[in-house]
Structures are given as C-alpha cells and as structure tokens.
Amino acid sequence: LTSALSPPPNRRLHPTYQPESAAAMSSGGIARGRLAEERKAWRKNHPHGFVAKPETLGDGTVNLMVWHCTIPGKQGTDWEGGYFPLTLHFSEDYPSKPPKCKFPTNFFHPNVYPSGTVCLSILNEDSVSLRTIC
C-alpha cells in the first residue's frame, strides 16, 4: 500500500496542547474550539512524515470534525517505505470521547480489523479523555 505521497519537511515532535484563547474554545463548541487549537499547533510542529488535515468541503470550508491523515511506515518493519491513509471522525463530545479512527477496508495490520477500524483500547468510548490528538 505504498503511495506516491511525499513526506513533509523534517519537524520536531508535537508540543503539549495549550489552548490559546477562551474565545477559540467556545466558538462552535468545545470540540471545534479544541480541534482548531490543535490544528494550529500541528501546523507549526508535527512528527516528520506524518500528515493530518481537516476535511475540505466542496465550498472550500474546512470541516474540523473529520481529518484525513497519512502515517509513514515505521523503519525496519514490513510497512517501511509506505504511506498509509487514516481518517479520524470526531464527535461533538471530543475530547471527552475519542475520535473514530478508520483505515481503508481490508487494510492489513495486526491492530486493524478488516473493516478498517483500529483495535486499540484507548479509542473505545469508555476510555479516559485524550490530552491531545497529536
């Protein structure tokens, strides 16, 4: 599943989430405010090779509740050299509830169901709220 996507320039790891303003947190709800702040932080600083962007709608507006991501394959594994698509679907309850994470159907990985759903306990509805998506 290697794609032709090229990785972004080298960047450091993402810093701890820090909200910039109370106004950003309240405009459009807590989830949208939080995601807007996390998007700003991600654009400034994220791990090398990773891509994460909110969905752009047909009219050019951005949907912060759906993010399209690309994860580079880890060096020294069978996935090395590949770039793998992942979609994150956030609910209005984010960050109290984690996003739904989905790879393409029939994506092969020991922690991914054939449906593309990620099998990871921290992504269950009953998990503790996340500090940040990054």
Residues 43 and 9: beta-carbon distance below 8 Å? no
Q: Is the pLDDT of residue 91 over 70?
A: yes
Tell me: the pLDDT tens digits for 25-57? 444 489 999 999 999 999 999 999 999 999 999
Residues 98 and 120: beta-carbon distance below 8 Å? no
30: nearest Cα among 89, 92, 98: 92
**Helix (H) or strand (E) run with residue 55 in it:** strand 51-56
Single out the catalytic residue among 69, 101, 119, 134. 119
Q: Is 119 a catalytic residue?
A: yes
Q: Is the pLDDT of residue 88 over 70?
A: yes
Cα R_g (the chain), whole angstroms: 15
Q: Which residues make Cβ contacts (< 8 Å) with residue 23, sequence separation at least 6?
A: none
Domains of the chain: 22-123 (3.10.110.10)
67: nearest Cα among 44, 109, 99, 21: 99
Dihedral over Cα of 30, 131, 72, 87: its sign: negative
Read off the pTM. Answer: 0.69
Residues 121 and 127: beta-carbon distance below 8 Å? yes
Mean pLDDT of 60-84: 95
